[in-house]
Structure 1
Amino acid sequence: VRLRLSARGENEQLLLDELENQLEKLHQLIGDIIKGYEGEGSLEEQIAQKFIEKGLSLTTAESCTGGRIASQLTAVSGASKFFKGGLVTYETATKNYVLGISQEIIDTYSVVSAEITKEMAIKAKALFRTDYAIATTGNAGPTKGDSDAEIGTVFIAIATPSGVEVFENHLGKQREKVTEKAVYKALGLILDEVNK
């Protein structure tokens, strides 16, 4: 969502001061979800800049997002300086024989779960030998597939040098919108993490 603040009047300094005042009020309300300002570039560009500045690396392991996170990241010029590659482990069995997630964990928790997403991030980070990894799995619909999780449920895991955090999201029922929201949510989460 792009939010624009504007003002009209004769006194430019008065208008600038009032805009700054309103921006401060806005930060008090939604500061934790603001991802950038005009002129800073897209989420992907901000991620690239931060990872390159800090000399860090990133990989992805995607299921329901089907490689779209990797696609967004590699659309940025210079992505090879921080993005080492990614996997699309869409089919349940692929999570087992490519990422090495045990069938027991898959059977116990189902493929759309916090536990599987966490394992995907850990395994991808180790496989690509990166500092960070993003993993996604979910039910984008229109049917539930190999899981009982409700349509629109998406888990996103971020593996960092100090651990793994998993986020559960409920993103609606329309397949394309669920996928798109999941991609941008994941990009926002990794940007927040690298900015810490």
Structure 2
Amino acid sequence: MGSTIFLFLLLSLAFPHCIFHQPIVFVNGDMRLIQETCKNTKYYDLCVSSLKRNATSTKADTKGLAIIMIGVGMANATATSSYLSSQLFSTTPNDPILKKVLKECADKYSYAADALQNSVRDLGTESFDYAYMHVMGASDYPNACRNAFRRYPGLAYPSELARREAGLKHICDVVLGIIDHLGW
């Protein structure tokens, strides 16, 4: 099972668009653990729908479900970093401040993905406190991006970025709820 989860995480980093554009596939199997696990999270519907999209989730234990959700978060953070990097190239060269802020934000989302990757390692060694800490860090990196926009009153925080920020924070909240449950 460990190699399957690692392969999923590797593929979700290489092909993050696959995570976001897959239709929901309802897997035949016991959904009880998914539902019970998701009841311990802040965003039950997000948790259940995200886990239902992954065929291996019905065979996973609680730690495996956390790792699957971390993969969803990594894909989100990586896709957002890529989105921001693409915005750097489409921004006019006459706006160096916007380019600087977009670069800073792209870096912050990349750091969020790295923090989530570290949480997978921590879960593997059952260092739940460290995993929790890394997920909290990943959840907080978007705040640094928002603050970068606030430093320059002429820059408006893009609604697309606000949507992506909320998505990553919600995913991280789900993961934190699952990790809390692991520590029992």
From the CA coordinates, give the structure whose radius of gyration is larger: 1
User: Counting strand residues as a fraction of each chain, which structure ranks higher?
Assistant: 1
Calculate the TM-score normalised by the size of structure 2: 0.28
> Relative contact order, CA 8 A, sep 6+: which one is greater?
2
User: Counting helix residues as a fraction of each chain, which structure ranks higher?
Assistant: 2
